[in-house]
């Protein structure tokens, strides 16, 4: 993994152990040295990396608890999220003041055949309800979105104060601020997740993306909705 950019006093979001900017790509060493990385997400003030073995590393400004280390401390080098060690992280998305991941967990009892399921986990600042835990308190450790426990997720994206997640059956769930209509449902409230409606209820969504205050998706018919 390489990173560059930033500015003076960037709280270590580049992961090089300092708060200075970097004008050319520089390799990350330390905890990530020798580890194969599979995906990365950049927020304005923090960065998250998923390795090929399902580990999650975060670094940058931890003021709002976005790093998932159980505190509000900033970290200038990659540090593994200890609270996710027993799970397999498959997707990550960084918002401005929060982070979301899709994790793979084993379901079933010892007496039955175990199978895996993919759940949505969020943490950080919850002021706009984008963590979707039924209240707006900050979460300093990764917490499963219990109200969506029956759904199986495959992709996710974070905006300014929102999280959107795609299930394996093509449904889009949105959560967070709805002041700009970005949740895709006029019945949306900030404390609970809701499914995007309109023509999406009759379409299978395959890809999702969001900007700071808007959402775009692609359906199985290769149609784009915004």
Residue 193 scores a pLDDT above 90: no
Given a cut of 60, is residue 164 above it in pLDDT?
yes
CA angle 72-40-90, nearest 5°? 90
Query: Does residue 137 belong to any structural domain of this protein?
Result: yes
In a domain, residue 199? The reply is no
Range of 100's domain?
A: 2-169
Determine, yes or no, domain membership for 13.
yes
Is 176 within the bounds of a domain? no
Q: How confident is the model at residue 134 (pLDDT cuts 50, 70, 90)?
A: low
Q: Residue 17: its pLDDT value, please?
A: 92
Span 56-70, pLDDT tens digits: 999 999 999 999 999
pLDDT of residue 109: 59
**Tens digit of pLDDT for each residue in 76-92?**
999 999 999 999 999 99
DSSP for the chain, written as a single string: -EEEE--TT-TTTTSSSSS--EEEEEE--GGGTTPPEEEEEE-SSEEEEEETTS-EEEEE--TTSTT-SSS---EEEEEE-GGGTTSEEEEEEE-SSEEEEEEEEEES-TTS--EEEEEEEEEE--TTSTT-SSS---EEEEEE-GGGTT--EEEEEE-SSEEEEEETTS-EEEEE--TTSTTS-TT--TTS-EE--GGGGGS-EEEEEE-SS-EEEEETTS-EE-
**Contact criterion met (CB below 8 Å) for 216 and 203:** no
Query: Residues 119-128: what's their mean pLDDT?
Result: 85
Domain count for the chain, please give it.
Answer: 1
The CATH number assigned to the domain holding 122 equals 2.130.10.30
β-partners of residue 195 are 173
Among 97-106, 112-121, 130-139, 175-184, the minimum mean pLDDT is found in 130-139
| Nearest of 188, 208, 207, 171 to residue 132 by alpha carbon | 188
Q: How far apart are CA 59 and CA 194, in angstroms?
A: 30
For the chain, the average pLDDT equals 89
Does 40 reside within a domain? yes
- pLDDT class for 131, splitting at 50, 70, 90? low
Mean pLDDT of 119-131: 78
Given this model, what pLDDT does residue 126 score? 72
Gap between the Cα atoms of 27 and 137, Å rounded: 36
Q: Is 200 helix (H, G, I), strand (E, B) or coil?
A: helix
Look-up of token digits 């784009």:
224
| 136 or 43, higher pLDDT | 43
CB atoms within 10 A of CB 191: 15
> Does residue 93 sit within a domain?
yes
pLDDT at 130: 54
Instruction: Evaluate whether residue 185 is within a structural domain.
Output: no
pLDDT attached to residue 99: 96
pLDDT at 68: 95
Domain-embedded: residue 129 = yes
* pLDDT tens readout for residues 9-46: 778 899 999 888 999 999 998 889 889 999 999 999 99
Q: What is the bridge-based pairing of β-strands 115-124 and 98-107?
A: antiparallel
């Amino acid at each position: 993994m390489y990173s560059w950019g930033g500015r003076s006093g960037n709280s270590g979001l580049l992961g090089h152990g300092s708060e200075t900017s970097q004008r050319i790509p520089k390799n990350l060493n330390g905890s990530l040295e020798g580890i194969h990385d599979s995906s990365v997400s950049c927020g304005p003030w923090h960065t998250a990396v998923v390795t090929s073995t399902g580990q999650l590393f975060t670094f940058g400004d931890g003021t709002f608890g976005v790093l998932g280390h159980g505190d509000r401390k900033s970290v200038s080098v990659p540090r593994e999220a200890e609270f996710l060690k027993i799970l397999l992280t498959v997707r990550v998305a960084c918002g401005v003041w929060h982070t979301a991941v899709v994790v793979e967990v084993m379901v079933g009892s010892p007496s039955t055949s175990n199978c895996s399921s993919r759940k949505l986990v969020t943490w950080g600042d919850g002021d706009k309800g984008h963590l979707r835990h039924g209240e707006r308190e900050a979460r300093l450790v990764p917490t499963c979105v219990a109200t969506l426990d029956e759904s199986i997720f495959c992709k996710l994206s974070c905006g300014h104060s929102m999280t959107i997640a795609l299930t394996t059956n093509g449904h889009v769930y949105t959560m967070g601020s709805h002041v700009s209509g970005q949740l895709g449902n006029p019945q949306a409230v900030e404390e609970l997740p809701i499914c995007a409606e309109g023509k999406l209820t009759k379409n299978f969504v395959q890809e999702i993306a969001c900007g700071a205050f808007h959402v775009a998706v692609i359906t199985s018919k290769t149609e784009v909705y915004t």
